[in-house]
């Protein structure tokens, strides 16, 4: 009777090991394997202080977009969880960077005695975003007009973008 129990234990261990391998290979979230993508974005030779980088799949049926927040020019892509990277494939790349003045919305919140910055009135936030001045040429903010592209390879990827007028 003991030999049979040993076989069952070994079989169970094999099933658990196989399941763990599949989950790691596919990504525990079920989306699949993503690859690290990071780099720097500069405009006229200077790092873009703040903004966002978006990788939009060239074929919308063949992938999922990824994004990264610019911090002193540096970005690291995220698809689902912070820093998880992007799927392998070809992407159009967009970059946005704006100076948004939320002072009117913040003044409104203070005048009402509210302390929570999340309570900024959406209409005033929308107005501030609409009036925001872009720090880079507008062509970079839309996939159809951006000249930027990148192919994410099945490895760790590092790529820098230099924006010009």
Which CATH number does the domain housing residue 146 bear? 2.60.40
Neighbours of 126 (CB within 10 A): 11
Domain that holds residue 10: 1-30
Judge if 39 and 26 occupy the same domain: no
Chain-wide mean pLDDT for the chain? 85
pTM of the predicted structure, to 2 decimals: 0.74
CA-based nearest residue to 92, from 28, 160, 39, 141: 141
Which residue, 27, 25, 28, 55, is CA-closest to 39?
55
Q: What is the pLDDT of residues 67-81, one digit of tens each?
A: 999 999 999 999 999
pLDDT tens per residue across span 61-115: 888 999 999 999 999 999 999 999 999 999 999 999 999 998 888 888 888 887 6
For tokens 């990827």, name the residue: 157
In the predicted structure, residue 8 carries a pLDDT above the cut 90: no
How many domains in the chain? 2
């Amino acid at each position: 009777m003991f030999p049979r129990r040993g076989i069952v234990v070994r079989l169970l261990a094999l099933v658990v090991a196989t399941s763990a391998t599949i989950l790691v290979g596919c990504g525990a979230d079920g989306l699949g394997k993503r690859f690290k993508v990071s780099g720097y974005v500069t405009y006229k030779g200077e790092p873009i202080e703040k903004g966002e980088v978006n990788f939009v799949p060239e074929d919308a049926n063949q992938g999922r977009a990824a994004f990264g927040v610019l911090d002193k020019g540096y970005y690291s892509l995220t698809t689902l969880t912070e820093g998880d990277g992007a799927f392998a494939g070809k992407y159009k790349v967009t970059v946005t960077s704006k100076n948004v003045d939320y002072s009117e919305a913040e003044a409104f919140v203070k005048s009402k005695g509210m302390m929570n910055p999340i309570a900024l009135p959406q209409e005033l936030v929308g107005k501030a975003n609409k009036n925001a001045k872009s720090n880079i040429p507008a062509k970079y903010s839309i996939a159809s007009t951006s000249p930027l592209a990148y192919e994410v390879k099945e490895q760790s990827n590092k790529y820098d973008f230099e924006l010009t007028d």
